[in-house]
Amino acid sequence: MITSLNIAINNIRRIIREPMALFFLLVFPIIGSSIGIIMVSFYDKVEVAINIPLDEGYKLPNTFNNIDKFNLVYYPSDAIEDKINTKEIDVGIVFPEDFEYRLKNQLKTNVKIISLKNNANVIHVRMLVEEYIRASTLGTENADIQILRNAVNNIGGPRLSISFMFMSILVFVGTIMELVLEDKKKKTFTRLFCAPVKNYEFILGTLISVLFLGSLKIYLFLLITKLGFGFDWKTTFGNVFLVLFFFLLSTVGINIGLIGLVRNTKVYLAFNVMVSIFSCFAGGAFLHYDFMGETLEKFSNFFPQKWGITAYEKLVDGYPLDSIVINLLILILFGAVFASIGIKSITPSENNL
């Protein structure tokens, strides 16, 4: 174990001397967090029209009033569509006249959401309305409060920041693993395995160094967003760190697998960046599932980003940690499967020794 720790310390010293590795360790977390925060902090007011009178004690208008980006106004049902077509209103919500009756009798209630666009704001409005109907159906006050609180927790900004962090972790770990390919090319790796060091000690030392620097990167990212920007992650610091750390474990395994598939350092670096960007989009990190369609959403299950994002969303919704155990296990499974493919590439064959 002491040998592995010494190898890890030497790896860390070497890694922090690499400009690209240092960039993705220190600079990229600041850039990613800043972009996510800026995109969620600055927005145009969204004009929302509703055919429910605003002064009759309904919970839905109060919910919209708790969200700064929405400006809720009342219009009769027949006027809302005209206001949408003339672009005076961005989104319209039209409740049926027998809405209260249908709720009380547990009947299906169709609420029309009208808009000329189908963007994140429309999705957020639809989510609020659905949660309002659900809360009204349940009828219990505590359930109402919890459901509407979850609906107000629009996590577009934090979700985007975590997505940038996913991509950053992928590229960062790939940059470190590129050094392994370089060592193999220069026979440095082979000479190390000829030394009185057991194979597992060297591999363990390499993994310790990657996980230590990756954890440091995550901690700096969260510290910057929390203290530097006062960012609200909608859940605890520890919960966000846990999700990102398990994604880091998955990423280490994935990059070990990539080393086994791609042997050229330049090709590997380019391939790693392409895989990072593509998997983040395909996994639903940057593109909300409501925009992806049923087929693409099913396809996203084959990417670790999907399981990392959904784990975070569960924690934001107030679910306990044991509710994301499956997500975390799947992230580890992604890493284990890919690592089993590439682990042989780390250990030189007898012909190389």
**pLDDT confidence of residue 41:** 54
Task: Compute the distance between CA of residue 324 and CA of residue 322 in angstroms, rounded to an integer.
Answer: 5
pLDDT digits (tens, 9 = 90+) for 268-314: 777 888 888 888 888 877 766 555 667 777 888 889 998 998 898 88
Bin 284: left if φ > 0, else alpha if -120 < ψ < 50, else beta: left
Give the contacts of 244 (CB within 8 A, at least 6 positions apart): 162, 165, 169, 218, 221, 222, 308
Give the contacts of 274 (CB within 8 A, at least 6 positions apart): none
Vertex 71 angle, CA 65 and 75, to 5°: 105
Parallel, antiparallel, or unpaired: how do β-strands 70-74 and 112-115 relate?
A: unpaired
Parallel, antiparallel, or unpaired: how do β-strands 112-115 and 91-94 relate?
A: antiparallel
- Region 231-250: mean pLDDT is 88
**pLDDT confidence of residue 138:** 62
Tell me yes or no: is domain 44-152 CATH 3.40.190: yes
Task: Compute the distance between CA of residue 80 and CA of residue 284 in angstroms, rounded to an integer.
Answer: 33
Please state the domain extents for the chain: 2-40+155-352, 44-152
Parallel, antiparallel, or unpaired: how do β-strands 46-50 and 70-74 relate?
A: parallel
- Say whether pLDDT at 232 is over 60: yes
Whole-model pTM: value is: 0.70
Look at the block and give the residue holding tokens 């409740």. 95
Contacts 24+ apart (CB under 8 A), 231-234: 231/33, 231/37, 231/157, 231/158, 231/161, 232/158, 233/158, 234/153, 234/155, 234/158, 234/316
- Region 38-44: mean pLDDT is 56
Residues for the chain: how many in total? 353
Bin 113: left if φ > 0, else alpha if -120 < ψ < 50, else beta: beta
